[in-house]
Amino acid sequence: MPHYTLLIGGEHVDTSESYDVVSPGNGEVIATVAKGGVEHVDLAVAAAERAFKESGWRETPAHVRADVVEKAVEQIGARAAEISELSARENGTPIRLAGGLSVGFPIMHMQYFAGLARTFVADRPAYANGSVTGIIRNEPIGVVAGIIPWNFPLLLAVWKAVPAILAGNSIVLKVDEKTPSTAFVLAEILSDCGLPAGVLNIITGDGETVGGHLTAHPRVRKISFTGSTATGRTVMRNAAANVKQVTLELGGKGANIVLPDADLDLAVDGTLWGFLMHAGQACESGTRLFVHDSIYDSFVERLVKRASELTVGDPTDPATDIGPVMNAAQRARIESLIDSAFEEGATLEYQGKPSATAHEAGQFVPPTIFTNVTSSMRVAAEEVFGPVLSVMRFSDVDAVVEEANNTEYGLASGVWSRDIAAATEIAGRLEAGTVWINDWHSLPGPLPFGGHKQSGFGREMGPNAITAFTNEKVISIDQSGRGARAAWSLVLP
């Protein structure tokens, strides 16, 4: 059975305590991982700072850093089957989906980040007036803290670590103890491809204690955090102590609007993908569905029929469409929201069942669709983070836009229509960082991703993915040296 140790300064560091890594598909312990403490945070930050100052990585040309990342892409591709299997066993990603989510997406984004690095110019002329010229310089920040959840561990490790190191920084990455393996694979591969020791460090530990100490650490200069809105507020408070830069990607409650002229087959499949991908365990899931009155009955009928065709079961079985949720606590939370929907008067339109391949010890929550939902119900107001859909009617576009925006969240929304101009106009009125039109969950590297309102701030990916991990410095040069004398001549005798 594998045992994962912390990675600090290029050394594998074990601890006196460990976590069990439990497969949500069958309840088996599949690995153990060292349990870090605050002392390991201090060691990792010190190692990262030492690497930033002494390894020469920040002075390495950006195109050479890109070479390291592109070599790593090749190795990840060569180990695709291994990584997919790890993802299926460790966090329940259906093996048929893992090749894309757990390998393909990370590769695509690493390639995009490496391409950005090849065009990155640290110094760019910005001003010229007579003898005075100005340069804007983008410099690496220093030690970055990255904190990732359990739902997409390799992809989110890539989003945090790769742009940070391509910018010349070093990073301490805190991974979730429930899904540690693929981040350690990434670190191993990057090291083999030439990343200096200490540039990427990986720790685990209790979120409140270890995560709190990391985000408050005075030697950390930027935090990139993905997780719940509640924890994001704590991260902000900790960062304020020494005014760290912060990027927060937090919770969501995606509003999905189907207009009367939508392609119903496309919208039905897109809606299912929007709330069932990875058993609904994605912050950008579309769990609030608004369907126009004129197509409501037909749409719901089609939605239920298609949902009934999906297989819920063993994530390592290629026939499985939907795997388990992460653990018993996650399952209990989702089921409590399902119970609340019954108590508050919603109608259960459909609830699937695990297939014969689903192990009795697995944490399975089948697709669940409620109608007659109102926005005041818990199931429609709270982030479910599971395969549960709330369906609501609308007849007026202005009213549905207002209802869609009636949430503390603002991460993602969607509009389905054949009239792209009309859909785009509605998209412009929705309070969300991403609005998909006739699509859901598409996250190509060139497009930035992040939230509005309490879904966070700052962006990952996109054309500024690397510069987001830099500080801007202005260098103003007076070739003549007369500027300061001229200024002083106004006040000096």
Query: 47 near 9, Cβ under 8 Å?
Result: yes
- The pLDDT of residue 70: 98
Q: Where are the domains of the chain?
A: 3-249+463-475, 255-437
Q: Which amino acid is at 1?
A: M
**What's residue 492's pLDDT?**
57
pLDDT band at residue 16, thresholds of 50, 70 and 90? Answer: very high
> Average of pLDDT values for 264-287?
97
Look at residue 139 and give its three-state secondary structure.
strand
Phi, psi (degrees; rounded to nearest 5) at 214: -65, -45
Tokens encoding 249? 């990607």
pLDDT average, residue stretch 180-185: 97
Segment 444-452 long-range contacts (CB within 8 Å, at least 24 positions apart)? 444/108, 444/112, 445/108, 445/109, 445/111, 445/112, 445/113, 446/112, 449/249, 450/247, 450/249, 450/411, 451/248, 451/249, 451/250, 451/252, 451/409, 451/410, 451/411, 452/410, 452/411
* Residue 59 DSSP symbol: T
Determine the pLDDT at residue 490: 57
Q: Report the pLDDT value the prediction gives residue 439, as an integer from 0 to 100.
A: 97
The catalytically annotated residue of 49, 249, 383, 431 is 249
**Residue 131, pLDDT score:** 75
Residue 485: pLDDT band with limits 50, 70, 90: low
Question: What torsion, rounded to 10 degrees, do the Cα atoms 58, 61, 64, 68 define?
Answer: 20
- pLDDT given for residue 124 in this prediction: 86
pLDDT digits (tens, 9 = 90+) for 283-311: 999 999 999 999 999 999 999 999 999 99
pLDDT for 201-245, tens place per residue?
Answer: 999 999 999 999 999 999 999 999 999 999 999 999 999 999 999
Tokens of 21: 């890594």
Give the burial class of 109: count Cβ atoms within 10 A of its Cβ; 0-12 exposed, 13-18 middle, 19 or more buried.
buried
Q: How many CA atoms lie within 13 A of 295 on its CB side?
A: 20
Mean of per-residue pLDDT scores for the chain: 95
The label of the residue with tokens 């992040």 reads 450
Half-sphere exposure of 365 (CA within 13 A, CB side): 30
CATH 3.40.309.10 fits 255-437, yes or no: yes
User: In the CATH hierarchy, which fold is given to the domain comprising 3-249+463-475?
Assistant: Aldehyde Dehydrogenase; Chain A, domain 1 (3.40.605)
Give me the DSSP letters along 21-42.
EE-TTT--EEEEEE---HHHHH
User: Quick check: 257 pLDDT over 80?
Assistant: yes
Query: Of these residues, 177, 283, 349, 382, which one is catalytic?
Result: 283
Q: In what order do the strands lie in the sheet with 347-351?
A: 347-351, 368-371, 388-394, 288-292, 255-258, 412-416, 434-437
Q: At what angle do helices 296-308 and 264-276 cross, to 10 degrees?
A: 50
pLDDT at 440 over 90: yes
The yes-or-no answer on residue 249 being catalytic is yes
Q: Report the C-alpha gap between 293 and 299 in whole angstroms.
A: 10
**Can 193 be counted among the known catalytic residues?**
no
**CA distances in angstroms from 237 to 85, 217, 245, 301, 456, listed in the order given:** 38, 12, 12, 47, 14
Q: Is 187 left (phi over 0), alpha (psi -120 to 50) or beta?
A: alpha
Answer with the residue of higher pLDDT: 484 or 227: 227
Q: Are 133 and 477 in contact (CB under 8 A)?
A: yes
Residue in this structure with the two tokens 């999906």, named with its chain if needed: 310
Q: Please report which confidence band the pLDDT of residue 125 belongs to, taking 50, 70 and 90 as the band edges.
A: confident
**pLDDT tens, 317-370?**
999 999 999 999 999 999 999 999 999 999 999 999 999 889 999 999 999 999
Rounded to whole angstroms, the Cα distance separating 175 from 173 reads 6
Which among 274, 223, 292, 272 has a CA at the least distance from the CA of 458? 223
Tally Cβ neighbours within 10 Å of residue 355: 18
**One fold for 3-249+463-475 and 255-437:** no
- Stretch 36-45: mean pLDDT, rounded? 98
488 pLDDT above the threshold of 90: no
CA pair distance 375, 352, nearest whole angstrom: 24
More confident residue, 355 or 493: 355
Those residues with Cβ within 8 angstroms of residue 102's Cβ, 6 or more apart along the chain or in another chain: 83, 84, 86, 87, 93, 152, 154, 155, 182
Could you write out the DSSP letters of every residue in 250-317? -----EEEE-TTS-HHHHHHHHHHHHHGGGG-STT---EEEEEGGGHHHHHHHHHHHHHT--B--TTS
d(CA 39, CA 50): 17
Cα separation, 430 vs 407, whole angstroms: 11
Q: Give the dihedral of Cα atoms 209, 215, 220, 221; nearest 10 deg.
A: 180
Give the helix/strand (H/E) hosting 47. Answer: helix 38-54
The pLDDT > 90 percentage for the chain reads 92
Helix axes 105-119, 153-166, angle to 10 degrees: 10
> What is the C-alpha separation between 32 and 177, in angstroms, rounded?
9
**288-292 vs 388-394, strand pairing mode:** parallel
Question: Using an 8 Å Cβ cutoff, are 327 and 363 in contact?
Answer: yes
Higher local confidence (pLDDT), 467 or 125: 467
Is the pLDDT confidence value at 487 over 60?
no
Per-residue pLDDT, averaged over 191-210, amounts to: 97
pLDDT in tens, 387-438: 999 999 999 999 999 999 999 999 999 999 999 999 999 999 999 999 999 9
Query: Could you give the maximum distance between any two Cα atoms of the chain, in Å?
Result: 93
Rounded Cα distance between 269 and 263, Å, is 10
